[in-house]
Structure 1
Amino acid sequence: MTLLQAVFSFALVAGLLTLIPGLDTALVLRSSISKSRRYAFATAAGISTGAMLWGVAAAVGVSALLAASEFAYRVVTIAGAAYMVWLGLSLLWKSRRQASAPAAPAGQDDVPAAGRDDLYKGWFTGTVTNLLNPKVGVFYVATIPQFMPAGASPLLVGTLLAGVHCVLAMAWFTLLIFGTGYASRWLKGARSIRIIDGITGTVMVGFGLRLVLEPAH
Structure 2
Amino acid sequence: MVRMDTQLVAFTGVAAAMVTMPGADFTVVVRNALISRRAGVACALGIAAGLLIHTTLAVAGVATVLVAVPGLFRTLQLLGGAYVLYLGVRALGAARRPRRAAAPQQSEQEASSGRPLWQGFVTNALNPKASLTFLSLLPQFVPAGSPALPRTLELALIVLVLALVWFPVVALLVDRLGRWLRSPRTARALEAVTGSALTALGLLLVLEPLLI
Q: TM-score range, shorter-chain basis?
A: 0.7 to 0.9
* Code of the aligned partner of 2:189: I
Alignment of 1:1-217 (within 5 A): 5-33=6-34, 35-96=35-96, 98-99=97-98, 104=100, 109-112=102-105, 113-115=107-109, 118=112, 120-149=114-143, 150-154=145-149, 156-214=150-208
Q: Distance in 2 between matches of 1:116 and 1:88?
A: 18
CA drift of 1:127 comes to 0.7
Q: How high is the TM-score relative to the length of structure 2?
A: 0.85
Q: 1:38 to 1:152 in 2, by over 3 A?
A: same
Cα distance change of structure 1 residues 157 and 114 upon mapping to structure 2, 3 Å threshold: farther
Identical-pair percentage: 30
The answer to which of 81-90 and 116-125 deviates more is: 116-125
Q: Is the CA contact (8 Å cut-off) linking 2:138 and 2:152 kept in structure 1? A: yes
Alpha-carbon shift at residue 24 of structure 1 (Å): 1.2
Distance 1:109 1:115 in 2: 11
Deviation at 1:132, TM superposition (A): 0.8
Gaps of 5+ in 1: none
- TM-score in terms of structure 1 length: 0.83
Offset at 1:71? 1.5
| 8 Å Cα contact 1:109-1:190 kept in structure 2 | no
Q: Structure 1, residues 70-129: CA drift from partner, whole Å, max 9, x if none? A: 222111111111111122212222222x32xxx64xxx6444342486352111111111
Whole-Å separation in 2 of the counterparts to 1:144 and 1:157: 9
- 3-state DSSP class of the match of 2:22? coil
Unmatched 5+ stretches in structure 2? none
Q: Distance in 2 between matches of 1:172 and 1:68?
A: 33
Distance in 2, matches of 1:204 and 1:111, equals 26
Q: Is the CA contact 1:39–1:122 (under 8 Å) kept in the aligned structure 2?
A: yes
**Aligned-partner residue type, residue 63 of structure 2:** S
More off after superposition, 178-187 vs 145-154? 145-154
> Which region of structure 1 is more displaced relative to structure 2, 118-127 or 48-57?
118-127
Query: Residue 59 of structure 1 aligns to which amino acid in structure 2?
Result: V
By how many angstroms is 1:198 displaced?
A: 2.1
Give the drift of 1:161: 1.9
Alpha-carbon distance between aligned partners in 2 of 1:54 and 1:147, rounded to the nearest angstrom: 17
Amino acid corresponding to residue 83 of structure 2 in structure 1: Y
Matched-pair contact (CA < 8 Å) for 2:45–2:168: no
Q: C-alpha displacement at 1:61, in angstroms?
A: 1.8
